[in-house]
Chain A
Amino acid sequence: MLQSLTRRVTGTTAVMWLIGSAILLLVVWGSMRTITGAVELHRLGDLQRTLTTNLIDGIAQGSVYALIALGYTLVYGILRMINFAHSEVFMSGPFIGYYVATALHGSGFLNRQPFVSLGIVMLVAMATSVTVAVLLERIAYRPLRRAPRLVPLITAIGASFFLQYTFLGLFGSGIKGYPEIERLKGRWTIPGTEIGILRTQLVVIIAAVVMLIGLYLFVQRTKIGKAMQAVSEDKDTAALMGIDVDRIIVITFVVGGALAGAAGVLYALLFRQVKFDMGFIPGIKAFTAAVLGGIGNVVGAMLGGLFLGIAESLFPNLVLDGLGIPAPYQLKDALAFILLVFILIFRPTGILGERLAAKKA
């Protein structure tokens, strides 16, 4: 008994657990300090309000992450590769959408028919992202399907930079501000409470939830969705069952691209700006979300996205503040990465995933 335990717990695992428990302890201690500090100063109400706002920000942000994360998860599930250029698929949609949005704004249509125009912008963005994703698959990934593992990954990194700087070259390096929609200004208060939500956040959350449910039904119920699952399970067997594997892979990229394009527009609604390198950080975070939920798992990616969004907006004020770190919001992005490292150490399978990390594709 003891022997088998010592055999399993090697030096490195011990060190890892030590690091992990230390981080966990810091998190608990930090939140305790924040709360006790607020109680001592009789400002628990303030803290509560701040945290509620953070929570709502987090949900809105998290639902965008969830949509992007789905693109990573779907592609990983089928090709067992990280589509590193997915962040550029995400960026390209709202980037082209920006030109449509400004044109609509210029003609006054945007404010007359905000939801119709939003739909148009979204469709354009989705179409753009789908085009980029499909081209990427066709040009960069398909010829390498049987290459050693590192090769497609490096290709993906190259494609990511190529796309980023193509957009920089074609459209310039400046930040492009999305026009503001009159109808979506201001807050909406949840009836019976004091909690206010920015209207844009509300739109983002509703749109994201609708799309997430749609995707879930698509994957679970439709024939194509089932074929996708089959291909992700075993390509060769799926092919024997009469599934056109190439077609399913393209469809996967189409679906992932469409979701990323939509997520891009929602992201632009929240932050109202696009830039050629805007994809990088959300891309990494969405990947984190996908890993968090268990990469290859659709529901996991959704949950992971929400969790990450909430965690990263709550953490700075809840935990880091209590630890006495000045200007904690600066470390928001670092937190996402720390979380990623943390999960990969302790539960590489993610919340809902099967163990894929050890599987050799």
Chain B
Amino acid sequence: MGNVSRFDWRMPLKVGLLGGLIAMLIALVGMVEASQVRPVITSLLSLGQTLLLLVFVFTAATAARRSVGHEGSVGLLGVINAGLAGLVTSAVLVGLVLVGGLINLRAVLIRASPELYDLLTLGLGRGRGSLALLALGVLLGVIVGVVYLLPARPRRAVTVGAGLVPVVAILWSALFAGRGLSLLTAAIIFVAAAGLSYLWSLLQARVGDKDRPLSLAGQRAMQWGRWAVLGAIVVLFPLLGKFPSEVLDNVGLYVLMGLGLNIVVGFAGLLDLGYVAFFALGAYTMGILTSPEIGWLGPRLTFWEALPFAVLMATLWGVILGIPVLGMRGDYLAIVTLGFGEIIRLVVLSDWLKPYIGGSNGITRIPKPVLGPISLATPQTLYYLLLAGCLLAGFIAIRLKDSRLGRAWMAMREDEDVAQAMGIDLVKTKLLAFASGAAFSGLSGAIFASKLTSVYPHSFHVLVSINALCVIIVGGMGSIPGVIAGAFALVGLPELLREFAEYRLWVYGAALVMMMLRRPEGLMPEARRRLELRETETGSST
């Protein structure tokens, strides 16, 4: 047996310990308990338990993957290692339960409540529950290990099936009355997803056959078909109802902002942390020009009349704030732009400008946009406005990307000195990046103001910049589909899962770090950047 590698007990111990610590952290920050209310599979599995389950699965999978033998197969050793890792992970949690029974952790760690212990011990009491938890850990580990015994194709099918069940369940419960799936439905989804995935991979293997490529017309038809389906889904989204449309509106705002920030950070490589400033400028311009509360500035405009001013204002300030930072790079730029964002917020918040822009009371009574006879007051109708905005912005971004300007941005991102030597006017190129980024953000802000019919300084916290940054980084810097995917994942999902609101930034922070460590090019990377990042990784020096 050539493929039996030596059993090393330290690896599963280490992996299991790490998994256990992560599970403990998730439990102690209160995420498990908070998401306990949302069922994934009715009366069997809550979202909180699913989270812990996922940690177990990942831990065991890591242990299994690391015990690959000499000939690339995992073998029985993988099952043992995965089981051990599962055991260690649950042992850490049992340790937490036992310590919590001895001393009152709650005086310091506010989430270490009896409910949490109950949940961890599966409601069986401390003694029996701890044993059950240990057994469950081993069982989960062994199951994952066994899955790793399967050949690649069915293994992927099982993974897809198992992964899809919680996703469907979460969407289902978030959109429809908070009910989970029944066990039967979950099983059907699992079987269907796994089966489809298996068939699909078989089909892929056949299509990928280089000897018989699809005809050109066939390819084109497939492409059109894909676009048509996508278009229909996008247009019909508001039919889901008021709440999902509301969520989609917020996603749309971030798509707009993300597309703009993507120009600045993704294309031009200028890390701007004060991006919220332009969002605020757009929103405040809209408020000042349209709200009847503001008396010092001429006649009241409608949404459509004020919109160009809002965008222009943001663009103008994009240039003004861009000038002082022209000579800066990287870290310095990040901090200074962060400073700009804060300066604008603090100035808006102060009593100094209160007579003009409302100070901490903000501006209210901003009219909703009206299009001919239709008032775009409901989230559903507003969705179409945002959709139009996003399509426009997306179109501009795509066109800009491959234009002369876009290529100049990317050249600048790679190396400013070389770009300048190649005849790129750095001043103009940088300012154009700031200006176009600011314009998108201003548009987003203007729509935001009329969506809420009010603007308050506290809506423009630096966290908005960070959110937008997360959206483009998780999606993939420089990639336009990535921005959209990122906005759905990072804005849409947390909005659907209200109980996570408190943990949103916690997850964002972790996601940023994980992304940078494991997949710096993002979920849907831009082709060129992926190459670059991979290249530097293997390259000998930076």
Give chain A's interface residues, CB within 8 Å of chain B: 10-12, 15-16, 19, 81-82, 99, 139-140, 143-144, 146-155, 157-166, 168-172, 280, 284, 287-288, 291, 325-327, 330-331, 333-334, 337-338, 340-341, 344-345, 348, 357-358
Minimum CB–CB distance for B441 against chain A, Å: 19
Given known contacts A150-B330, A153-B334, A166-B25, A333 and B513 CB-to-CB distance under 8 angstroms: no
Residue in B31, B342, B346, B427 whose beta carbon sits within 8 Å of that of A330 in the complex: B346
Name which residue of chain A comes closest to B324, CB basis.
A345
Minimum CB–CB distance for B360 against chain A, Å: 10
The answer to whether B512 touches A331, judged by C-beta atoms less than 8 angstroms apart, is: no
Which residues of chain A have C-beta atoms less than 8 A from B505's C-beta?
161, 164-165
- 9 tightest Cβ-Cβ pairs between the two chains A and B: A158-B512, A169-B29, A162-B509, A161-B509, A165-B506, A337-B339, A334-B346, A82-B331, A158-B513
The answer to whether A12 touches B326, judged by C-beta atoms less than 8 angstroms apart, is: yes
Name which residue of chain B comes closest to A336, CB basis.
B339
Q: Enumerate B336-366 residues with CB–CB distance to A below 8 Å.
A: 336, 338-340, 342-343, 346-347, 349-352
The answer to whether A333 touches B342, judged by C-beta atoms less than 8 angstroms apart, is: yes
Given known contacts A158-B512, A287-B335, A327-B352, A334 and B347 CB-to-CB distance under 8 angstroms: yes
Complex CA–CA separation, A348 to B327 (angstroms): 10
Which residues of chain A have C-beta atoms less than 8 A from B31's C-beta?
169
Is B542 an interface residue, CB under 8 A from the partner? yes
Counting chain A CB atoms within 10 Å of each CB, the highest count among B108, B340, B503 belongs to B108
Complex CA–CA separation, A186 to B273 (angstroms): 42
The answer to whether A12 touches B427, judged by C-beta atoms less than 8 angstroms apart, is: yes
Complex CA–CA separation, A158 to B273 (angstroms): 13
Complex CA–CA separation, A268 to B473 (angstroms): 35
Complex CA–CA separation, A11 to B428 (angstroms): 12
Complex CA–CA separation, A162 to B470 (angstroms): 13
Is B110 an interface residue, CB under 8 A from the partner? yes
Complex CA–CA separation, A70 to B108 (angstroms): 31
In the complex, 12 of the A-B residue pairs with CB atoms within 8 angstroms, ordered by the A residue number, are A11-B427, A82-B331, A148-B542, A150-B330, A152-B516, A155-B512, A158-B508, A158-B510, A158-B512, A160-B509, A330-B350, A330-B351
Give chain B's interface residues, CB within 8 Å of chain A: 25, 28-31, 108-111, 269, 271, 273, 323-332, 334-336, 338-340, 342-343, 346-347, 349-352, 427, 462, 466, 469, 473, 502-503, 505-506, 508-513, 515-517, 520, 532-533, 536-537, 541-542
Complex CA–CA separation, A340 to B351 (angstroms): 23
Which residues of chain B have C-beta atoms less than 8 A from A165's C-beta?
29, 502-503, 505-506, 509
Which residues of chain B have C-beta atoms less than 8 A from A10's C-beta?
427
The answer to whether B342 touches A334, judged by C-beta atoms less than 8 angstroms apart, is: yes
The answer to whether B512 touches A161, judged by C-beta atoms less than 8 angstroms apart, is: yes
Name which residue of chain A comes closest to B274, CB basis.
A337
Given known contacts A162-B510, A170-B111, A144 and B517 CB-to-CB distance under 8 angstroms: yes
The answer to whether A148 touches B517, judged by C-beta atoms less than 8 angstroms apart, is: no
Counting chain A CB atoms within 10 Å of each CB, the highest count among B332, B335, B517 belongs to B335
Complex CA–CA separation, A143 to B517 (angstroms): 7
The answer to whether A162 touches B29, judged by C-beta atoms less than 8 angstroms apart, is: no
The answer to whether B506 touches A340, judged by C-beta atoms less than 8 angstroms apart, is: no
The answer to whether A157 touches B330, judged by C-beta atoms less than 8 angstroms apart, is: no
Which residues of chain A have C-beta atoms less than 8 A from B347's C-beta?
331, 334
The answer to whether A19 touches B324, judged by C-beta atoms less than 8 angstroms apart, is: yes
Name which residue of chain B comes closest to A146, CB basis.
B542
Complex CA–CA separation, A358 to B416 (angstroms): 11
Given known contacts A140-B517, A160-B509, A325 and B352 CB-to-CB distance under 8 angstroms: yes
The prevalent SS among residues of A at the interface is: helix
* 7 additional contacts (CB under 8 A) given A147-B537, A169-B30, A172-B110: A12-B427, A148-B542, A165-B506, A170-B28, A325-B350, A333-B346, A344-B324
The answer to whether A153 touches B328, judged by C-beta atoms less than 8 angstroms apart, is: no
Name which residue of chain B comes closest to A136, CB basis.
B513
The answer to whether B338 touches A147, judged by C-beta atoms less than 8 angstroms apart, is: no
Which residues of chain A have C-beta atoms less than 8 A from B271's C-beta?
150, 153-154
Complex CA–CA separation, A170 to B473 (angstroms): 27
The answer to whether A284 touches B339, judged by C-beta atoms less than 8 angstroms apart, is: yes
Complex CA–CA separation, A19 to B515 (angstroms): 40
Minimum CB–CB distance for A103 against chain B, Å: 10
Minimum CB–CB distance for A345 against chain B, Å: 5
Name which residue of chain A comes closest to B511, CB basis.
A158
Which residues of chain A have C-beta atoms less than 8 A from B469's C-beta?
154, 157
The answer to whether B339 touches A151, judged by C-beta atoms less than 8 angstroms apart, is: no
Q: How many A-B residue pairs have CB under 8 A?
A: 175
Which residues of chain B have C-beta atoms less than 8 A from A280's C-beta?
462
Which residues of chain B have C-beta atoms less than 8 A from A146's C-beta?
536-537, 541-542
The answer to whether A155 touches B351, judged by C-beta atoms less than 8 angstroms apart, is: no
Minimum CB–CB distance for B420 against chain A, Å: 13
Complex CA–CA separation, A291 to B334 (angstroms): 13
Residue in B339, B462, B520 whose beta carbon sits within 8 Å of that of A147 in the complex: B520
The answer to whether A151 touches B109, judged by C-beta atoms less than 8 angstroms apart, is: no
Which residues of chain B have C-beta atoms less than 8 A from A147's C-beta?
516, 520, 533, 536-537, 542
The answer to whether B517 touches A341, judged by C-beta atoms less than 8 angstroms apart, is: no
Complex CA–CA separation, A341 to B269 (angstroms): 20
The answer to whether B506 touches A166, judged by C-beta atoms less than 8 angstroms apart, is: yes
The answer to whether B328 touches A166, judged by C-beta atoms less than 8 angstroms apart, is: no
Given known contacts A165-B505, A325-B352, A334-B346, A340 and B327 CB-to-CB distance under 8 angstroms: no
The answer to whether A158 touches B509, judged by C-beta atoms less than 8 angstroms apart, is: yes
Name which residue of chain B comes closest to A171, CB basis.
B110
Minimum CB–CB distance for B317 against chain A, Å: 14
Residue in A82, A155, A169, A334 whose beta carbon sits within 8 Å of that of B335 in the complex: A82
Which residues of chain B have C-beta atoms less than 8 A from A12's C-beta?
323, 326, 427
Minimum CB–CB distance for B74 against chain A, Å: 25
Residue in A19, A81, A168, A340 whose beta carbon sits within 8 Å of that of B336 in the complex: A340
Minimum CB–CB distance for B121 against chain A, Å: 21
The answer to whether A99 touches B108, judged by C-beta atoms less than 8 angstroms apart, is: yes
Minimum CB–CB distance for B115 against chain A, Å: 16
Which residues of chain A have C-beta atoms less than 8 A from B25's C-beta?
166
The answer to whether A170 touches B536, judged by C-beta atoms less than 8 angstroms apart, is: no
Name which residue of chain B comes closest to A343, CB basis.
B336
Complex CA–CA separation, A154 to B28 (angstroms): 26
Name which residue of chain B comes closest to A169, CB basis.
B29
Name which residue of chain A comes closest to B265, CB basis.
A150
Name which residue of chain A comes closest to B413, CB basis.
A150
The answer to whether A15 touches B342, judged by C-beta atoms less than 8 angstroms apart, is: no
The answer to whether A326 touches B352, judged by C-beta atoms less than 8 angstroms apart, is: yes
Name which residue of chain A comes closest to B504, CB basis.
A165
Complex CA–CA separation, A16 to B340 (angstroms): 16
Name which residue of chain B comes closest to A342, CB basis.
B324
Minimum CB–CB distance for B266 against chain A, Å: 10
Complex CA–CA separation, A280 to B30 (angstroms): 23
Residue in B326, B349, B350, B513 whose beta carbon sits within 8 Å of that of A140 in the complex: B513
Complex CA–CA separation, A149 to B30 (angstroms): 34
Name which residue of chain B comes closest to A331, CB basis.
B350
Minimum CB–CB distance for B457 against chain A, Å: 11
